[in-house]
């Protein structure tokens, strides 16, 4: 997600400053979670799903991630 200008010639990204380190870390982590989630869905992989959930910033442990995954499977 970046600011842009749209005109008849297309979409043009507007210059933006680099993210501060703390924000860049959050973005990198979010991307990792997204990639593992996609991997889990495409490959029907419980391991990838567990990796995705256990790295999500709102999930505080692998144990909680396992419980969530079990609950999702039961739903």
pLDDT in tens, 56-69: 999 999 999 999 99
Is the residue at 21 inside a domain?
Answer: no
Is the residue at 67 inside a domain?
Answer: yes
Is the residue at 37 inside a domain?
Answer: yes
Is the residue at 73 inside a domain?
Answer: yes
Which uninterrupted H or E stretch holds 47? helix 46-55
Cα distance between residue 73 and residue 75, in whole Å: 6
CB 34 within 8 A of CB 53: no
Is the residue at 6 inside a domain?
Answer: no
More confident residue, 38 or 1: 38
Q: Based on the structure, what is the number of domains in the chain?
A: 1
Is the residue at 55 inside a domain?
Answer: yes
Q: Is the pLDDT of residue 1 over 80?
A: no
Tokens of 62: 């692998």
Range of the domain at 33: 27-75
Kindly report the number of other CB atoms within 10 A of residue 60's CB atom. 10
Q: Is the pLDDT of residue 15 over 80?
A: yes
Is the residue at 72 inside a domain?
Answer: yes
Look at the alpha carbons of 41, 47, 48, 52 in this order and tell me if their dihedral is positive or negative.
positive
């Amino acid at each position: 997600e970046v600011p842009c200008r749209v005109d008849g010639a297309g979409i043009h990204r507007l210059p933006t400053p680099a993210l501060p380190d703390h924000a860049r870390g959050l973005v990198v982590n979010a991307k990792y979670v997204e990639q593992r989630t996609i991997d889990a869905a495409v490959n029907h992989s419980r391991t990838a799903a567990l990796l995705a959930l256990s790295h999500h910033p709102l999930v505080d442990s692998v144990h909680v991630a396992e419980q969530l995954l079990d609950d999702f499977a039961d739903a």
